[in-house]
């Protein structure tokens, strides 16, 4: 997306941010494991999987190089299990899917956008703790 080369270590950046969110400081930031309950959507599948979904969908707009995005991944995994059947959780990689983010005004990541009945119901930008994320979701369900 940018121009020059950067020496960016996502785990270091994530740990730096975690000091401001005590709930995030215990996460395993080196693990890439993800729940089977989290759907990976693309520009091509976004309409069917998100906009035409039969229940609310929380979309995480993220990128591989984004430390805070990696930080919230395990939280999204936990939340996907806890809200299974009530809420779909989807992830859209902004670097691999460049058409969808501009349609929804994505300017920073991570951006969490809750869709209900094909419409954006609420948006949060930045890394959230689990309690912040569940409060955000609960306020919209």
Residues involved in catalysis? 66, 69
Sign of CA dihedral 12, 16, 17, 21: positive
Q: Give the DSSP letter string of 35-56.
A: -TTEEE--TTTHIIIIIT-SS-
């Amino acid at each position: 997306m940018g121009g020059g080369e950067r020496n960016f270590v996502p785990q270091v950046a994530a740990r730096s941010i975690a000091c401001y969110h005590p709930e995030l400081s215990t996460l395993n930031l080196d693990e890439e494991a993800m729940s089977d309950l989290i759907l990976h959507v693309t520009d091509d599948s976004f309409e069917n999987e998100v906009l035409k979904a039969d229940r609310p969908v929380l979309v995480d707009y993220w990128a591989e190089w984004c430390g805070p995005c990696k930080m919230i991944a395990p939280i999204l995994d936990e939340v996907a299990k806890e809200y299974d059947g009530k809420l779909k959780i989807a992830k859209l990689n902004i670097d691999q899917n460049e058409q969808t983010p501009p349609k929804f005004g994505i300017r920073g990541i991570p951006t969490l956008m809750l869709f209900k009945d094909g419409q954006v119901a609420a948006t949060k930008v930045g890394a959230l703790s689990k309690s912040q994320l569940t409060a955000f979701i609960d306020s919209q369900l």
